[in-house]
């Protein structure tokens, strides 16, 4: 298994495709969440570094070096970047694993495959896109063109950084934008590595920059007058603050936020076949997943059978050091998040839920491990059913009829993902249509790189992936041609 050999110490920032000195001497240290070992350190970017990166992005955008390139050439660069990531997958996945604590195998499937999938997906969407079309309107012909929105500020979370970087660089670059990425302070090292791979793939000078930092750097990016659009993936709380600040300068803004998704198990579902995926979609990435389906809605008559099947699956998870063979579950990212998850488990019990299964995890490394927890006797008004826990905690909620199940699924501030489990796929589709959420799976769940992904309600604004994802980085322009003019002459 590939490991991160020695701490990666970087003294400069990757701005516009070059390594440049940071404004301040402050540093950001990255420690392995499982072992406490130093993974590396980078300069802590501040508002001056953000300004330098935005200026590089603005100059490159206005020069047309990337924004004026034919879309097919930009798409080819994205495909090349995907290929380079695949070629260096073992090294990249080991680094991401060391930074955020998932096993390298989970990083490879949940982040690398998904990340290269969306890069190729955006390239395909760009190739299929009508970048220009002639419409026949009231006065005659109008030429409708699509142009890049401009300089993009991308701010991301730590939980799936490899995937998120591909899902920010991918559509922005396909559209012709220049991008300044502010990674989460927990996971800056892989961002530097990936940005270099995009440069190697052919992204020109000035077009991409990485400024590691915390909230201060993020706010400087949001407030910068030369940024045209903010794309944010993170918590609903921060998303609301960012959207409000974007309103001040009327920046375009898309938000991918939290979730509290529901898996609806119907009375005809194959319980033995469904249980592994039901548990996996609830606690993947140690539960640190926006799309985690942490509310499992079950017919009251089948509750005990389903909980028993899910318990057997949950008990098969093996928490351990992520780099060790056989580990299937890494630690929680840090002590603060660990305390928050433990707090939710205590609150669940205090509010009357029963822990039908709670794995005790022995001390492992210096990590903050929480084993799978399955709560029953949960009602949808309990805290554990309403708030995003971001830990491996599933709430099983019993329902009496399908209308009630749909009502429970919809009784949430969030609307990001969800699923229906049934022997009748068409019946599942009809129910999926009635749930106010951005993506639904039937008998499984996955994010499709070619199809829109995003949230209703407090789960966000806008869509990523496919044509819809590309369009959120574009402006639509109408050029009204003279009356009587025909482009076909």
- Which one, 255 or 307, has the nearer CB to ligand NAD? 255
Among 35, 116, 159, 199, binds ligand NAD (CB under 6 A): 159
Is 458 exposed, middle or buried, given 0-12, 13-18 or 19+ CB atoms closer than 10 A? buried
In the complex, what is the shortest distance from the CB of residue 130 to ligand NAD, in angstroms, rounded to a whole number?
27
Examine residue 258 and tell whether it contacts ligand NAD (CB under 6 A): yes
Residues 373 to 392: which contact ligand NAD by CB under 6 A? 388, 390
Triad 416, 417, 419: Cα angle to 5°: 155
Q: Quick count: other Cβ atoms within 10 Å of Cβ 339?
A: 12
Examine residue 461 and tell whether it contacts ligand NAD (CB under 6 A): no
Examine residue 233 and tell whether it contacts ligand NAD (CB under 6 A): yes
Among left, alpha and beta (phi > 0; psi -120 to 50; other), residue 322 is: alpha
Give me the residues paired with residue 143 across strands: 134, 479
Stretch that binds ligand NAD, among 7-15, 89-97, 180-188, 466-474 (CB under 6 A): 180-188
Cα distances from 115 to residues 3, 85, 306, in angstroms, run 21, 9, 33
Among 77, 152, 290, 356, binds ligand NAD (CB under 6 A): 290
Q: How far is CA 99 from the centre of its chain?
A: 16
Among 63, 142, 235, 383, binds ligand NAD (CB under 6 A): 235
Structure tokens at 354: 């029963």
* Residue 147 appears among annotated catalytic residues: no
Q: Quick count: other Cβ atoms within 10 Å of Cβ 343?
A: 13
- Which one, 125 or 284, has the nearer CB to ligand NAD? 284
Stretch that binds ligand NAD, among 49-57, 115-123, 214-222, 393-401 (CB under 6 A): 214-222
- Residue nearest ligand NAD (C-beta atom): 218
In the complex, what is the shortest distance from the CB of residue 234 to ligand NAD, in angstroms, rounded to a whole number?
3
Give me the residues paired with residue 480 across strands: 142
- Which one, 188 or 322, has the nearer CB to ligand NAD? 188
Residues 119 to 148: which contact ligand NAD by CB under 6 A? none
Among left, alpha and beta (phi > 0; psi -120 to 50; other), residue 462 is: left
Percent helix / strand / coil, the chain, rounded to 5: 40, 20, 40
Examine residue 234 and tell whether it contacts ligand NAD (CB under 6 A): yes
Give the residue carrying structure tokens 């390298």.
104
Q: How far is CA 39 from the centre of its chain?
A: 23
In the complex, what is the shortest distance from the CB of residue 469 to ligand NAD, in angstroms, rounded to a whole number?
11
CB 441 within 8 A of CB 269: no
Examine residue 158 and tell whether it contacts ligand NAD (CB under 6 A): yes
Stretch that binds ligand NAD, among 18-26, 105-113, 154-162, 311-319 (CB under 6 A): 154-162
Identify which of 155, 131, 126, 125 has the alpha carbon closest to the alpha carbon of residue 143.
131
Among 104, 322, 415, 460, binds ligand NAD (CB under 6 A): 460
Residues ≥6 apart with Cβ < 8 Å to 336: none
Stretch that binds ligand NAD, among 48-56, 98-106, 120-128, 238-246 (CB under 6 A): 238-246
Among 82, 152, 179, 257, binds ligand NAD (CB under 6 A): 257
Residues 26 to 55: which contact ligand NAD by CB under 6 A? none
Among 241, 271, 461, 481, binds ligand NAD (CB under 6 A): 241
By rule CB under 6 A, what count of residues binds ligand NAD? 30
Q: At what angle do helices 89-100 and 189-201 cross, to 10 degrees?
A: 160
- Which one, 75 or 110, has the nearer CB to ligand NAD? 110
- Give the C-alpha separation, 48 to 31, whole Å: 26
Examine residue 450 and tell whether it contacts ligand NAD (CB under 6 A): no
Asked whether the CA dihedral 107, 111, 116, 121 is positive or negative, the reply is positive
Examine residue 227 and tell whether it contacts ligand NAD (CB under 6 A): no
- Which one, 96 or 275, has the nearer CB to ligand NAD? 96
Q: What is the 3-state secondary structure (H, E, C) of 375-414?
A: EECCCCCCHHHHCCCCCCEEEEEEECCHHHHHHHHHCCCE
CB 400 within 8 A of CB 307: no
Examine residue 157 and tell whether it contacts ligand NAD (CB under 6 A): yes
- Which one, 74 or 260, has the nearer CB to ligand NAD? 260
* Residue 256 appears among annotated catalytic residues: yes
Specify the DSSP element, H or E, that contains 451. Answer: none
Examine residue 214 and tell whether it contacts ligand NAD (CB under 6 A): yes
Stretch that binds ligand NAD, among 33-41, 116-124, 181-189, 303-311 (CB under 6 A): 181-189
- Give the C-alpha separation, 79 to 73, whole Å: 10
Residues near ligand NAD, by CB under 6 A? 155-160, 182, 184-185, 214-215, 218-219, 222, 233-235, 238, 241-242, 256-259, 290, 388, 390, 416, 455, 460
Active site residue ranges: 256, 290
């Amino acid at each position: 298994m590939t490991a991160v050999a020695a701490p990666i110490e970087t003294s400069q920032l990757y701005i516009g495709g070059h390594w440049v000195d940071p404004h301040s001497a402050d540093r950001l240290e990255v420690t392995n969440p499982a072992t406490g070992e130093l993974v590396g350190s980078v300069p802590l970017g501040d508002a001056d570094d953000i300004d330098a990166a935005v200026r590089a992005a603005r100059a490159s955008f206005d020069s047309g070096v990337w924004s004026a390139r034919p879309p097919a050439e930009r798409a080819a660069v994205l495909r090349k970047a995907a290929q380079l990531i695949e070629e260096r997958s073992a090294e990249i996945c080991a680094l991401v694993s060391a930074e955020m604590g998932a096993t390298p195998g989970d990083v490879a499937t949940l982040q690398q495959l998904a990340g290269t999938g969306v890069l190729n997906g955006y390239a395909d969407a760009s190739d299929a896109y009508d970048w220009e079309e002639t419409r026949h309107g009231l006065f005659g012909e109008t030429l409708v063109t699509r142009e890049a929105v401009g300089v993009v500020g991308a701010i991301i979370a730590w939980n799936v950084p490899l995937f998120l970087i591909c899902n920010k660089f991918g559509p922005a670059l396909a559209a012709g934008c220049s991008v300044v990425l502010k990674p989460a302070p927990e996971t800056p090292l892989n961002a530097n590595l990936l940005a270099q791979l995009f440069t190697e793939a052919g992204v020109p000078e000035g077009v991409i920059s990485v400024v590691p930092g915390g909230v201060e750097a993020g706010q400087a990016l949001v407030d910068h007058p030369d940024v045209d659009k903010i794309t944010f993936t993170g918590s609903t709380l921060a998303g609301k603050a960012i959207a409000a600040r974007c309103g001040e300068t009327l920046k375009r803004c898309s938000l991918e936020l939290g979730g509290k998704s529901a898996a609806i198990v119907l009375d005809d579902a194959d319980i033995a076949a469904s249980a592994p995926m039901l548990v996996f979609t609830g606690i993947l990435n140690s539960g640190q997943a926006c799309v985690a389906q942490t509310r499992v809605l079950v017919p009251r008559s089948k509750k005990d059978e389903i909980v028993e099947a899910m318990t057997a699956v949950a008990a098969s998870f093996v928490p351990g050091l992520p780099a060790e063979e056989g580990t299937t579950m890494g630690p929680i990212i840090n002590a603060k998040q660990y305390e928050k998850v433990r707090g939710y488990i205590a609150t669940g019990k205090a509010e009357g839920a029963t822990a039908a299964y709670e794995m005790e995890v022995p001390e492992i490394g210096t990590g903050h491990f929480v084993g799978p927890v399955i709560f029953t006797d949960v009602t949808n008004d309990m805290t554990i059913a309403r708030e995003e826990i971001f830990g491996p905690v599933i709430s099983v909620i019993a329902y009496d009829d399908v209308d009630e199940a749909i009502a429970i699924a919809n009784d949430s501030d969030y609307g990001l993902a969800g699923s229906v489990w049934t022997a009748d796929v068409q019946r599942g589709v009809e129910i999926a249509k009635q749930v106010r959420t951005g993506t639904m799976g039937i008998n499984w769940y996955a994010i499709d790189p070619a199809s829109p992904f995003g949230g209703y309600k407090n789960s966000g604004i806008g869509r990523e992936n496919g044509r819809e994802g590309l369009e959120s980085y574009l402006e639509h322009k109408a050029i009204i041609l003279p009356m009587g003019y025909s482009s076909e002459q």
